[in-house]
Amino acid sequence: MTASTPSLDDLRIDRANDRDGARGWPWVIVVGLLLVLGGAGWWWWTGPAQVAKVRTATAREVTLSAADTTVLNASGYVTARRRATVSSKVTGKLVEVLVEEGMAVRKGQVLARLDDATVRSQLALAEARLVATHRGFAEQEVRLREAELTLGRTRRLVEEGVVGAADLDGAEAEVDSLEARIALARQQVVVAEREIDVLRTQLDDMVIRAPFDGVAISKDAEAGEMISPLSAGGGFTRTGVSTIVDMGSLEIEVDVNESYINRVQDDQRVVATLDAYPDWDIPAAVITTVPAADRQRATVLVRIRFDELDPRILPDMGIKVAFLEDQQPQTRTRETRLLVPAAAVRNQDGQDIVYVIRGDLAERRAVRLGPVVGDQVEVIAGLTAGEQLIVDGPADLADGARVVVVE
């Protein structure tokens, strides 16, 4: 056989096969795009943007004593039951101020003096008037004795018939008149004495004294300033010289939410901690619950006494208190309890819940809580020891959400 000789027809392109291949390309492109879009959607749905970053803590069992358990925590301030801003009874000018901040004062101690020149002048005038009244009273008594002698002589003369009855009537009238004048003079003496007493009281009011034993915590006026018991004269008149606090009357006042006031009882034991001394636990006890609520803040005031006062405790200091659980000494002295951080507990729809870590998911778990122990809270039901809880995470965290634990 002879081989075929190449020709120009062998170089011609077969367009029929190309048309069949072109018809298959669009389907490949569509499928590829769908795969790309599906992968992007899956990555967007499960990628890092949808993973909540959280911090966790472990539920742990701790052996506690009864004294370690609190039923309620609250904060308040140190207050003084005896506290007074000392002022004067009258308006006057200060000439001397004898008190300084931090000074210990005794009851009746002089704190300041007012200008008393006017009152002293009035007192001197009243005393001189009293002396004049006494002298006038003595003169009337001398005249009365003379009138009584004249009356006696006139009666003898009337009996002897020397003078008439008219002379006797005149003598009797003179005696009666002098007796009335003497009675008036006696009353004038009493009035003058009472006036002197008033002026002496006013003079004593020029001296400002401490009302009780205590410590001066402020000095509110200086010599040369005007002082008044009333708010008068604008900013140029002071209404007090100093504020005195009885350091023996210090106690604690805290506002307790009315929803938890049923946990507070009279004489209940309390542990107090001053903000200034956070490592110092101060034993205290409840005095009473004030029988009135603040309708705007929905709180009730609780008064607490210190078991023992200390110089480090000062008025108006911030303080935190922990109301201890009331237990009999012979029972539940030590026991094991499951504690979790209070920050891990959330309240949704009136129910206490926590979120537990299950793999990389958050599991919503309802719990029943017990007393508070510091910054921890006891879990009575709903958890077991060793489970990982979310203590810091998004506020909108939901059941089944993917999470990643961060340090």
The residue out of 150, 178, 204 marking a domain boundary is 204
332 pLDDT more than 70: no
Whether 282 and 352 map to the same domain: the answer is no
Residue 31 lies in a domain: no
Q: What is the 3-state secondary structure of the chain?
A: CCCCCCCHHHHCCCHHHHHHHHHHHHHHHHHHHHHHHHHHHHHHHHCHHHCEEEEEEECEEEEEEHHHCEEEEEEEEEEECCEEEECCCCCEEEEEECCCCCCEECCCCEEEEECCHHHHHHHHHHHHHHHHHHHHHHHHHHHHHHHHHHHHHHHHHHHHCCCCHHHHHHHHHHHHHHHHHHHHHHHHHHHHHHHHHHHHHHHHHCEEECCCCEEEEEECCCCCCEECCCCCCHHHEECCCEEEECHHHEEEEEEEECCCHHHCCCCCEEEEEECCCCCCEEEEEEEEEEEEEECCCCEEEEEEEECCCCCCCCCCCEEEEEEECCCCCCCCCEEEEEEEEHHHCEEECCEEEEEEEECCEEEEEECEEEEEECCEEEEEECCCCCCEEEEECCCCCCCCCEEEECC
The CATH number that applies at residue 314 is 2.40.30.170
pLDDT digits (tens, 9 = 90+) for 172-192: 787 777 777 777 778 888 888
The CATH number that applies at residue 223 is 2.40.50.100
Residue 283 lies in a domain: yes
The residue out of 225, 245, 265 marking a domain boundary is 245
Q: Which residue has the higher pLDDT, 22 or 124?
A: 124
pLDDT digits (tens, 9 = 90+) for 54-80: 788 888 877 655 555 678 889 999 999
**Count of structural domains, the chain:** 4
Give the percent of the chain with pLDDT over 90: 29
Domain that holds residue 338: 52-64+333-405
The CATH number that applies at residue 348 is 2.40.420.20
Range with lowest mean pLDDT among 13-22, 322-331, 338-347, 353-362 = 13-22
pLDDT digits (tens, 9 = 90+) for 232-289: 555 577 888 999 999 999 999 999 999 889 889 999 999 899 999 988 889 999 999 9
Whether 292 and 365 map to the same domain: the answer is no
Whether 211 and 281 map to the same domain: the answer is no
Residue 363 lies in a domain: yes
Whether 304 and 186 map to the same domain: the answer is no
